[in-house]
Structure 1
């Protein structure tokens, strides 16, 4: 499954999925801020694991939208 990238101003959110050892999946969002002196990265994780990579990916995309929606430019 390919990552998906969203941007808002100088912020870039990348949603992805990570498999867990128990056979479930976890959604992750990496938020990069290009401040001019190099990017600053923060990683956010979806709270719950999911039984399928598709469900985890949907959760990661929703988290990316929420994070970018809270940013004031």
Structure 2
């Protein structure tokens, strides 16, 4: 599956999903900044786990939009 990314200015949010030990799924957002310096990303986790990958991906997508929406350029 290809990574889904969202950008705002020099920021890029990449969403993903990981399986938890309890058999559920958790959405993840990796936020990176492309300012010509070291490529360091911050990983954010969706607070709640989901029953399936599709729901977790939707939650990650919503989190990415919230994070990017709060960034002031």
* TM tier relative to shorter chain: over 0.9
Higher strand share: 1
C-alpha separation in 1, matches of 2:3 and 2:36: 25
Deviation at 1:39, TM superposition (A): 2.0
**Structure 1 segment 1-73 matched on structure 2, within 5 A:** 1-73=1-73
Distance 1:52-1:2 versus aligned 2 partners, 3 A rule: farther
Q: Structure 2: where are the runs of 5+ without partners?
A: none
Deviations 1:21-64 (A, max 9, x none): 21100000000011222223100000000001000000000000
**Number of residues of Structure 1 aligned to a counterpart in Structure 2:** 73
Contact 1:34 1:40 in 2 (8 A): no
RMSD: 1.1
C-alpha separation in 2, matches of 1:3 and 1:47: 21
Normalized against structure 2, the TM-score is what? Answer: 0.92
- After TM superposition, the runs of 4+ consecutive aligned structure 1 residues lying more than 3 A away are none
Q: Structure 1: where are the runs of 5+ without partners?
A: none
Q: What secondary structure, in the 3-state scheme, does the structure 1 residue paired with 2:66 have? A: helix
Normalized against structure 1, the TM-score is what? Answer: 0.92
